[in-house]
């Protein structure tokens, strides 16, 4: 059974961190409605959704993916590259402690979960504005005993590694090659996003279906033509906070 940890949208989401986007008004009630449809989609795809209580004072706390990495054998509680997001991990660590043994990234390491892409036994860590070599090295030490290969993958022009590349089928990655070099991921097949939709590489593969945002119709068509099974969701209001699809959940086997 897959567990999906989520968290309701903070009233203060308008004060979120923004790196590559201009600040635009965010309608909290629309963002919450979209977030509920996202959770509903996860339920329909077979996840048991565990929604954590809202953190009213933490604007970005809906983006739970950035707080932890959960693998079958352990969970790593992360240390964000931005100070404003570090308090988000307390409640996540409490929730995850019932499922996994916990390890912690510590100073000077920083890693945001949006920078962590696992493909089978390889864990790629994006070298971005949020995640650094010290953080990746700590992950490498935690994961070595379990046989994971941890590799650093430089990204440029985007927030996180998973803004640039995500897994959408066995050994198949959806990629924006302007933001990350495909040579970082040997032994994988690639589907390129439509170049007019640079943010289109973030998709969420759950139980054989790809949850995909309605914002990128051209890339959606490419995926449909490839025969990928899609579930389309509207997360346009959350996207104004620079949040993508993967970042709104932490999904793992119970």
Q: Which is nearer to ligand CIR, 226 or 240 (CB)?
A: 240
Stretch that binds ligand CIR, among 11-19, 178-186, 203-211, 223-231 (CB under 6 A): 11-19
For ligand CIR, the closer of residues 63 and 205 by Cβ is: 63
Residues belonging to the active site: 160, 247
Among 66, 168, 206, 211, indicate the residue that binds ligand CIR (CB under 6 A): 66
Residues 112-151 that bind ligand CIR (CB under 6 A): 113-114
CA gap 221, 70 in Å, rounded: 32
Distance CA 62, CA 13 (A): 9
63 near ligand CIR, judged by CB under 6 A:
yes
Q: Can you spell out the DSSP letters for 48-116?
A: EEEEEPP-TT-TTTT-GGGGEEE-SS-EEE---SSGGGGGGHHHHHHHHTTTS-EEE--TT----GGGE
CB 212 within 8 A of CB 232: yes
CA angle 231, 69, 181 (to 5 degrees): 70
- Tell which positions 215-254 bind ligand CIR, by CB under 6 A: 241-244, 247
- Of the pair 63, 148, the CB lying nearest ligand CIR is at 63
Distance (Å, rounded) from C-alpha 123 to C-alpha 235? 27
Rounded CA separation 169/178 (Å): 21
Whether omega before 103 lies within 30 degrees of 0, making that bond cis, reads no
3-state secondary structure of 37: helix
Quote the least distance from Cβ 175 to ligand CIR, whole Å.
16
Q: How far is the CB of 84 from ligand CIR (least distance, A)?
A: 8
**Shortest CB 227 distance to ligand CIR, Å:** 27
CA dist 111 and 78 (Å) reads 6
Give the interface segment with ligand CIR, choosing from 45-53, 59-67, 120-128, 131-139 (CB under 6 A): 59-67
Nearer to ligand CIR by C-beta: 109 or 113? 113
Q: How far is the CB of 147 from ligand CIR (least distance, A)?
A: 26
How far apart are alpha carbons 57 and 59 in whole angstroms? 6
Applying CB under 6 A, among 11, 12, 17, 234 the residue interacting with ligand CIR is 17
Interface with ligand CIR, residue 88, by CB under 6 A = no
Q: State the binding string over 146-185 for ligand CIR (x if CB under 6 A, else -).
A: --------------x-------------------------
Closest CA to 207 of 252, 247, 244: 252
CB of 183 to ligand CIR, least distance (A): 23
Binding site for ligand CIR (CB under 6 A): 16-17, 19, 60, 63, 65-66, 85, 113-114, 160, 241-244, 247
């Amino acid at each position: 059974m897959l567990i999906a940890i989520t968290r309701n949208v903070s009233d203060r989401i308008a004060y979120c961190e923004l790196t590559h986007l201009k600040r635009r008004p965010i309608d909290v009630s629309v963002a919450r409605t979209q977030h509920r449809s996202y959770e509903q989609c996860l339920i329909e795809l077979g996840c048991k959704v565990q929604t954590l209580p809202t953190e009213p004072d933490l604007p970005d706390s809906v983006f739970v993916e950035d707080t932890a990495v959960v693998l079958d054998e352990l969970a790593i509680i992360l240390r964000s590259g931005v100070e404003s997001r570090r308090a988000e991990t307390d409640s996540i660590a409490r929730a995850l402690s019932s499922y996994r043994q916990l390890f912690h990234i510590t100073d000077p390491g920083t890693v945001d979960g949006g920078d962590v892409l696992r493909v089978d036994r390889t864990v790629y860590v994006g070298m971005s504005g949020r995640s650094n070599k010290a953080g990746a090295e700590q992950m490498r030490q935690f994961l070595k005993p379990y046989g994971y290969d941890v590799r650093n993958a430089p990204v440029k022009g985007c927030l996180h590694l998973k803004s640039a590349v995500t897994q959408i089928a066995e050994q198949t990655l959806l990629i924006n090659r302007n933001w990350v070099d495909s040579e970082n991921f040997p032994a994988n097949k690639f589907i390129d996003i439509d170049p007019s939709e640079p943010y289109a590489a973030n998709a969420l593969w759950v139980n054989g279906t790809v949850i995909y945002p309605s914002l990128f119709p051209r890339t959606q068509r490419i995926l449909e033509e490839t025969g990928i099974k899609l579930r389309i969701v509207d997360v346009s209001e959350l996207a104004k906070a620079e949040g993508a699809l993967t970042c709104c959940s932490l999904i793992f086997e119970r």
